[in-house]
Structure 1
Amino acid sequence: MRIFILLAITAFTISFSSSAQLPQASFKELKKMEDSMKLHSRNMIWDADASRRFNADSIFIRSLVRSLRVPHSFHYPFDSLITVSKLYPADSSFRIFSWQFNKDDNYFRQRGAIQMRTADGSLKLFPLLDMSEFTNKPEDSVRSARNWIGAIYYGIVMKTHNNKNYYTLLGFDDNNLRSTKKWVEVLTFNDKGEPVFGGPYFNVPAQYEKEALAKERFVLEYKKDGRARMNYDSEMDLIIFDHLISETNENDKKYTFIPDGDYQGFKWNNGKWEYVDKVFDFKLKDGEAPMPAPLKDDKGNSNEQWLMQQSETNQQKGKTKPVQQPAKKAPPKKEVNRRSQDIEEY
């Protein structure tokens, strides 16, 4: 299940400093608590019975909050919780936990929490409550932690403008039986230090406004097995995503959308993400040679191997060594959930 392979990778994209910041007593306590949480973290995703998944999810949430109350828990990586995404921005000022609960193949909701780094090691936590089912236009609103548009976050990009930090989140949502969504939104913190999701951070040409390409947040919705990619490339400094078309010429039905082999993107400029219509023309000017390591070969086919290598390279940049833990075995193949098989990013 690619989503959990991805979560296992993101567990190592950690930018807090050294294990010396975590007292040995806290480490031992957290290790013991993590060991007891592993089973619930797996059952809430992979158990075949919905009621048992719900029960495991409830137990896991309570256990996670108790563990985060341990002094200096921010510096403990929870590496063995492979079904839970744990992301840190470049300044390591907070981390985001996110994961998914599904009642059935047509009902998916996300869980999450933001843990702030504190000087004294005490807990400052913002639970994220997924309220996406109560809006028809999730891309049109600025949100708080209490009415969050849920996603499993697999990428975070920190940008600075006018001495303020902006954290762009890339997220995945299984959505429903017919379609999958990937999200891009900007996270900021208000004067009270509270998280704010979304805002006027996307610039798109006037001709695309009718298509609702982006407003307070950007969504890429596509056919369940469409395997559309969306990720940030640090070399190009672009958010790159597949251009989608309806395979049945029904543009009002997002569940018919599939990639057509072209790529679009967003480039950060003056505090906003500006739309780039043709990614492969973006850096080319008169007299310039083509970009090295192109995303497509001479025949126009996507260079999948380079894309995966580049994504893995980007994830490794800037990491520092977390608290050392024994290597964990991947879950057995029989536990794979086919519903998230298109999480292969980029």
Structure 2
Amino acid sequence: MRNPRLSILLIVLTISTLSYGQSALQSAPPISDSALVALWDASTANLADTLLGQKIQQAIIHRIALSRKAITPLPTLRGMRDLHSPDSLLRIITWAHSTPEGEWSYMGILAHQAGGSTVALFPLHDARLPVGRGLIDEQLFSEERTPSNWLGASYYALVPFVWHSQPSYLLLGVAGATELVTRRVVESLQFDKSGAPHFGIPCLMYQRKQYRRMLWSHGRRVAMTLHPIDDGRRILIDHLSPSRPEFSGMPQFYGPDFSQDVLELSPAGSWVYQFDQEVAAPKPPVSDSVPKK
């Protein structure tokens, strides 16, 4: 039978921030490595079953909560992205599920070591913004979001920086895909004084305008380079163009045009977009981080 205290714990975590210290609830023991791997394998075999995904989310949250450490060891789960900051104070775990519409939804967990043996845990709930034909609503560049309406993504890189004297982070990832189009994102993240996380701080500068995040859509059959370089001081970005002029405005026909741009961290803490930069020997592009159907 399901442990009633654990049920209450998971409900509270779903609707708000919950910090665990010396008074952490004593409930069922954490899930074992073998049980978590088995649950993950079952979910991987049926990606459309989001209930299994929710069980994985709950099990990991429970395990981290009981350990009181954001960087609680987990077994290797193929397809799950597990990132943490160099100081081990922030951890973000993300993964994808297929949908009946032929797109992908995401689940995630944000763990923040608030101090000592106190860890704040935030389940991430995908706002499920469809990729469709790849056209991007410009409003997304300027919206602040929270864990409850997160712009779902599978993050493969985390870059710490300081903005307005506060620890902040850039997150690079894949934010949805269809059979024709992949959408990528540079997300920003910061915690307020109460410890609540905010996705989308206005730290990105593009042609003298401030943005909270940046998104790109490109053809599913091509790879786009989007990754940190120069010890995290710059983000290398493949410039995208249509394969033919008549395909302008149709993201499924967009791909790298052999020129590269960068986001560069300024002394003031903002990331400034710069076009046509000379960059030596970039690393191989990161895969789409989307499971194959």
- Could you tell me the TM-score, scaled by structure 1's length? 0.66
> Aligned pair in 2 of structure 1 residues 175, 161: CA closer, same or farther (>3 Å)?
same
Corresponding residue of 1:40: 39
Instruction: Give SS of 1:125's match.
Output: strand
Rounded to whole Å, the distance in 1 between the matches of 2:217 and 2:57 is: 29
CA deviation after TM superposition for structure 1 residue 105, in Å = 7.0
> Aligned pair in 2 of structure 1 residues 203, 119: CA closer, same or farther (>3 Å)?
closer
> Aligned pair in 2 of structure 1 residues 107, 190: CA closer, same or farther (>3 Å)?
same
Supply the RMSD in Å over aligned alpha carbons: 2.7
Alignment pair present for 1:307 and 2:261: no
Rounded to whole Å, the distance in 1 between the matches of 2:239 and 2:206 is: 15
Alignment pair present for 1:147 and 2:145: no
Corresponding residue of 1:89: 85
Corresponding residue of 1:185: 187
Corresponding residue of 1:279: 277
CA deviation after TM superposition for structure 1 residue 337, in Å = 4.3
| Contact 2:57–2:109 (CA under 8 A) maintained in structure 1 | no
Highest relative contact order (Cα 8 Å, sep 6+), 1 or 2?
A: 1
> Aligned pair in 2 of structure 1 residues 164, 145: CA closer, same or farther (>3 Å)?
same
> Aligned pair in 2 of structure 1 residues 199, 123: CA closer, same or farther (>3 Å)?
closer
Alignment pair present for 1:157 and 2:152: no
Rounded to whole Å, the distance in 2 between the matches of 1:202 and 1:154 is: 19
| Contact 2:124–2:148 (CA under 8 A) maintained in structure 1 | yes
Amino acid at match of 2:62: R
Rounded to whole Å, the distance in 1 between the matches of 2:101 and 2:277 is: 35
Instruction: Give SS of 2:161's match.
Output: strand
1:138-180 CA-partner distances (Å, limit 9, x unpaired)? 2231111111101111111111245321211111133222211
- Could you tell me the TM-score, scaled by structure 2's length? 0.77
Alignment pair present for 1:264 and 2:261: yes
1:186-243 CA-partner distances (Å, limit 9, x unpaired)? 101112211111122122226xx7xxxx832111210011111100013482100111
Rounded to whole Å, the distance in 2 between the matches of 1:280 and 1:203 is: 20
Matched length: 254
1:245-293 CA-partner distances (Å, limit 9, x unpaired)? 1113333221211111111110011121111112207xxxxxxxxxxxx
> Aligned pair in 2 of structure 1 residues 82, 262: CA closer, same or farther (>3 Å)?
same
- Residue among 105, 121, 124 paired with 1:109: 105
Rounded to whole Å, the distance in 2 between the matches of 1:235 and 1:119 is: 27
* Structure with the largest fraction of helix: 1
> Aligned pair in 2 of structure 1 residues 108, 246: CA closer, same or farther (>3 Å)?
same
Corresponding residue of 1:200: 202
Rounded to whole Å, the distance in 2 between the matches of 1:235 and 1:73 is: 27
> Aligned pair in 2 of structure 1 residues 80, 236: CA closer, same or farther (>3 Å)?
closer
Rounded to whole Å, the distance in 1 between the matches of 2:53 and 2:175 is: 17
> Aligned pair in 2 of structure 1 residues 199, 120: CA closer, same or farther (>3 Å)?
closer
| Contact 1:173–1:181 (CA under 8 A) maintained in structure 2 | yes
Rounded to whole Å, the distance in 1 between the matches of 2:126 and 2:39 is: 20
| Contact 2:159–2:232 (CA under 8 A) maintained in structure 1 | no
* Structure with the largest fraction of strand: 2
Moved over 4 A (4+): none
| Contact 1:242–1:261 (CA under 8 A) maintained in structure 2 | yes
Corresponding residue of 1:167: 169
Summarize the alignment of residues 22-101 of structure 1 with structure 2, pairs less than 5 Å apart. Answer: 33-45=32-44, 47=45, 49=46, 53-101=49-97
Q: Structure 2, unaligned stretches of length 5 or more?
A: 1-28, 131-135
